[in-house]
Amino acid sequence: MRKRVPDQDDSSSSASPAQKTARVPERKAAPSRSPWWVWLKRGLLVVFLVYISVPVMLKVSPAFVKHLVYSNKGLLSHIAGRAGTSVDLSRPADFSLNHTINMYLTPEEGISLGVWHTVPESQWKEAQGKDSAWYQKSLSDGSPVFIYLHGANGTRAESHRVGVANVLSANGYHVLAVDYRGFGDSSGEPSEASLTSDTVYVYHWVKARSGDSKVVIWGHSLGSGVATNTAVKLMEQGVVVDGVILEGTLKNTREQMKSYFTRLYGMLPGFEYFFIEPMAENEIIFPNDENVKKMRSPLLFLHSEDDHVISLHMAQQVYERAVSAQSPERVQMVTFSGSLGYRHNGLYKDPRTPGILKKFVQSL
Identify any residues that bridge with 153 across adjacent strands, giving them in sequence order: none
Phi, psi of 217 (to 5 degrees): -105, 125
169 is annotated as an active-site residue? no
Is 57 exposed, middle or buried (CB count within 10 Å of its CB: 0-12, 13-18, 19+)? middle
In angstroms, the CA 364 to CA 344 distance is 26
78 is annotated as an active-site residue? no
Catalytic residue from among 221, 224, 297, 304: 221
Contact yes or no for 92/100 (Cβ under 8 A): yes
Identify any residues that bridge with 149 across adjacent strands, giving them in sequence order: 178, 219
303 is annotated as an active-site residue? no
DSSP structure string for 263-276: HHHTTSTTHIIIII
What DSSP designation does 122 have?
G
Calculate helix-pair angle for 253-265, 312-325, nearest 10 degrees.
150
CB within 8 A of 156, min separation 6: which ones?
89, 114, 115, 116, 148, 150, 162, 177, 178, 179, 184
Catalytic residue from among 179, 186, 344, 350: 344
Contact yes or no for 331/298 (Cβ under 8 A): yes
Catalytic residue from among 185, 198, 307, 350: 307
In angstroms, the CA 115 to CA 107 distance is 12
In the Cβ-directed half-sphere of 154, how many Cα atoms lie within 13 Å? 15
Q: Which residues are catalytic?
A: 221, 307, 344
